[in-house]
Amino acid sequence: MPSVQRAFTDFQGKNIRILTISIDEGGSKDVAPFLAEHHYTMPVALDVKAEVFARYGLFGTPGTFIADRQGMLVAKGFGPVDFDRPDFRKYILDLAG
């Protein structure tokens, strides 16, 4: 999550949106303290019933989805992603145009 926060901060103002989704069953009462403790400021949507996960075929966490400028899903992956990797950042910046 630290690399996700860095990407969120670095991409602000670059026509790139980063949204995280939590499937914690406790919802915001579990998520808010975690975000505050780690000083995370990126937006978090709550999916306590894992409906988004099911819709997109996720079977574990973490999962990463990348949508293009039209909102079309262009890539997805399962497992940790290092948002600091230069090739990953270039891919995202190229999508943003």
pLDDT digits (tens, 9 = 90+) for 10-68: 988 888 888 888 888 999 999 999 999 999 999 998 999 989 888 877 777 777 888 87
Domain count for the chain, please give it.
Answer: 1
Looking at residue 11, which CATH number applies to its domain? 3.40.30.10
Pick the closest to residue 4 from 81, 94, 86, 76 (CA basis): 81
Cα 62 off chain centre by: 9
Crossing angle of helices 2-11/86-96, nearest 10°?
40
The pLDDT score that the predictor gives to residue 78 is 77
Q: Which domain holds residue 41?
A: 2-92
In a domain, 97, yes or no: no
Q: Under DSSP, is residue 63 helix (H, G, I), strand (E, B) or coil?
A: strand
19: Cβ contacts below 8 Å, ≥ 6 apart = 42, 43, 44, 45
